[in-house]
Amino acid sequence: MRGFVFVIIGLVGLGYLTSACNSRTPSTYNNNYASTNTFELAAPLIEISQPLFTDSTLLRIKPSHPAATILYSVDRPITESDSGMVYSGAVYLKNSHDIYAYVSHPDFKNSETVSTAVFKINHSLEQADISISPPAHPSYAGLGPKSLTDQIKGSISFRNSNAWLGFDHPKVRIQLDLKQEMLLEQISFSSLIDTPSWIFGPREIRVFSKGKLLSKINFKEENSGHKSQLKSFVVGIPKDRYRQFTIEIQTVSEIPNWHEGKGSQGWLFLDQILVN
């Protein structure tokens, strides 16, 4: 992959990025401009040289205001009690991480926090056999199940993309045959979160091998204020040699009450499975 993949999330100018939703397909974005005299900074621009990498990748963050301070964190959301580290220049990342960032200036309100994810490829799955039941929705079918093992990372622009598989079912079942045994202790799932477009992360992931449950992880509900983000969901398994996995993913079968689609089936978007 050459050049930089630009991950642009957040506010456009001084406007808020919102979206209109419908009951079955992810919605399109519209720009609505703030009418208050207290302005919020636009979110920073996160640049990743290679979202999927084998050795290292370069992280750069650009502010929306030339005098603003960029604060960021790795693998932990930024909170009031943990405001993150001050960004002072490009950073090389050598492992999979979730990155969070916002900008601050004394004359403005802090920007919203934006995030993205990077993924280190420790084992290529391009030759693995994979099947998925039920299949992805025809509108978001990518290149079929192989989209999850082809080492092609999707962006937040999910429409008309062959990188993403979109599911609107309560449960997704994945059969994965690695073709040869590998010493592993972790499986990662690369997902898109875009709650205004009714796209949520998994609620629960179960991993089986040879009929035995290896791990079950429950994930918290996304905050209603989050914008589009790329996110990794990591499931640890007992360190051992494995060849075959059965993976069951529970989706958001009832969108929570804070969302205008409350009670409806949510979407799950996946673009890669990685093993470590």
The pLDDT assigned to 182 comes to 96
The pLDDT assigned to 225 comes to 53
Torsion of CA 45, 51, 54, 58, to 10 degrees: -10
**Strand, coil or helix: 196:** helix
DSSP 148-193: GTS-----S--TT-SS-EEE-SSEEEEEEEEEEEEEEEEEEEEEEE
Averaged pLDDT of the chain? 85
Tell me the pLDDT tens digit for each residue of 122-155: 999 999 999 999 999 999 999 999 999 998 888 8
Q: Is 74 exposed, middle or buried (0-12, 13-18, 19+ CB in 10 A)?
A: middle
Specify which residues 16 forms β-bridges with. Answer: 32
Angstrom CA distances, 257 to 170, 223, 225, 261, stand at 17, 12, 13, 8
Rounded CA-CA distance 118/99 in Å is 8
Rounded CA-CA distance 99/45 in Å is 12
**Strand, coil or helix: 64:** coil
Strands 267-275 and 199-200: parallel
Give the pair of three-digit tokens for residue 128. 């693995």
Gyration radius of the chain's alpha carbons: 19
Candidates 53, 248, 29; CA nearest to 153 is 53
The pLDDT assigned to 27 comes to 41
Candidates 120, 214, 198, 123; CA nearest to 158 is 198
Backbone angles phi, psi at 133, to 5 degrees: -140, 130
Backbone angles phi, psi at 260, to 5 degrees: -65, -20
The pLDDT assigned to 228 comes to 82
How do the pLDDT tens digits run along the chain, 276 residues long?
Answer: 444 444 434 333 333 333 333 444 444 334 443 433 478 999 999 999 998 999 999 999 999 889 999 999 999 888 877 888 999 999 999 998 989 999 999 999 999 898 888 988 999 999 999 999 999 999 999 999 999 999 888 888 898 888 999 999 999 999 999 999 999 999 999 999 999 899 999 999 999 999 999 999 999 876 545 568 888 899 999 999 999 999 999 999 999 888 889 999 999 999 999 999
Q: Cβ(92)–Cβ(56) under 8 Å?
A: yes
Specify which residues 248 forms β-bridges with. Answer: 173, 206
Rounded CA-CA distance 60/124 in Å is 26
| Buried-exposed string 45-62: b where 16+ CB fall within 10 A, e elsewhere | bbbbbbbbbeeebebebe
